[in-house]
Amino acid sequence: MGLLSVNGICKSFGGLAAVSDMSFEVSNGQIISIIGPNGAGKTTVFNLLTGFYECDEGSIIFREEEISNLPPYEYVNKKLTRTFQNLKLFPNMTVLENVLIGYQSCITYSRLDAILNTRKKRLGEQKAREKAMEVLQSIDMEQYAMEKCSSLPYGVQKQLEIARAMVSDPQLLLLDEPAAGLNPQETEQLAVFIKGLPAKGYSVLLIEHDMSLVMSISDYIYVMDYGKLIAQGVPEDVQQNEQVIEAYIGRGGFKHVIGS
């Protein structure tokens, strides 16, 4: 039994089937990628997995528990956290505060403790701060801790979003195009970083357009087009798959180009 198994989920908006009969699995310690042309329904799958959309059909089993159609805030407690395609940080808060928000589900003192500023609250805050600084240190960002997030370069912000997701202690990280907008050097660093995640106890489900990144770090790849799963396999197989090439380049167009 895998960590996550998705069985035949469907989602349509009006007459448009954004995702139809999509099934896949993620096992512990794996890096799994979902690729496909723009509009194939990849991000919709993420939204279904994290409760932002409701599944029309199908089931999502995570850690042997049905998790489809929960309210979005429940997923952190189920140990599943995501990042977003367009950065969703808290721009006017400091880097440290951003990470602390990621950690908030692990902070246990009550609101009354907060109002009365009890010892429990102060200890809880101190522990949270230490943990947050630890995480920032592990990604070499402790020098930015007190900076406003919006003042950081884009690449650093991207990394911070992953760090924020990591502190909530998930077993599965859903990364939605983490390399979008990064330069080649930053992408290379990101590849090394993601590759190191399974060793730290995080499994990864990745959506990405940067093929060299996907091919170099994935254990297994699922390919989507028009909301359907069209191919799957290890990177070498997927690269050779006719249907995948067709989905990305288009058969007719390609022949036409060659013909002329």
Partner 1 sequence: MRQKKYVTIILTLLLMILLYSIPVLISSQYVLRICVYVCIYSILACSLNLIAGVCGQISMGHAAFYGIGAYGSALVCINYGIPWVLCVLIAALLSGMVGMFIGIPALKLSGGYLVICTVGFGELVRLILLNWVSLTRGPMGIVNIPRPVIFNTKIKTGGQYYIVALTLFVIIYIILHNILNSKFGRNLKAIKEDEIAAETMGIRVHREKVIAFAVSAAMAGAAGAMLAHYMLFISPTIFVGDFSTTILSMVVLGGMGSMPGSVIAATLLTVIPEALRGLDKYRMLIYGLLLICMMLGKNVSWESTIPGRKLASMKTAVLTKHIKNRKGVK
Nearer to partner 1, 111 or 200 (CB): 111
Residue 81 in the binding site for partner 1 (CB under 8 A): yes
Nearest of 43, 49, 56, 52 to residue 15 by alpha carbon: 56
Nearest distance in Å: CB 247, partner 1: 30
CA–CA separation, 54 and 253 (whole Å): 36
CA–CA separation, 224 and 4 (whole Å): 18
Nearer to partner 1, 107 or 139 (CB): 107
Residue range at the interface with partner 1 (CB under 8 A); choices 3-11, 62-70, 111-119, 221-229: 111-119
Residue 75 in the binding site for partner 1 (CB under 8 A): yes
Nearer to partner 1, 100 or 231 (CB): 100
Residue range at the interface with partner 1 (CB under 8 A); choices 6-14, 30-38, 79-87, 132-140: 79-87
Whether the CA torsion 153, 184, 168, 84 is positive or negative: it is: positive
Residue 184 in the binding site for partner 1 (CB under 8 A): no
Structure tokens of 186?
Answer: 């930053």
Q: How many residues bind partner 1 (CB under 8 A)?
A: 45
Residue 126 in the binding site for partner 1 (CB under 8 A): no
Whether the CA torsion 31, 17, 82, 26 is positive or negative: it is: negative
CA–CA separation, 158 and 179 (whole Å): 8
Residue 255 in the binding site for partner 1 (CB under 8 A): no
Nearest distance in Å: CB 63, partner 1: 16
Tally of helices (H runs) and strands (E runs) in the chain: 10, 10
CA–CA separation, 148 and 93 (whole Å): 6
Residue 152 in the binding site for partner 1 (CB under 8 A): yes
Which residue of 39, 91, 196, 250 would you call a contact of partner 1, by CB under 8 A? 91
CA–CA separation, 33 and 222 (whole Å): 6
In sequence order, what DSSP letters do the residues of 192-219 get, joined into one string? HHHHTTGGGT-EEEEE-S-HHHHHHH-S
CA–CA separation, 38 and 224 (whole Å): 10
Residue 129 in the binding site for partner 1 (CB under 8 A): no
Which residue of 153, 196, 201, 250 would you call a contact of partner 1, by CB under 8 A? 153
Residue 100 in the binding site for partner 1 (CB under 8 A): yes
Contact residues for partner 1 (CB under 8 A)? 50, 52, 71-77, 81-82, 84, 88-93, 97, 100-102, 104-105, 107, 109, 111, 113-117, 121, 124-125, 128, 146-148, 151-153, 164, 168, 185
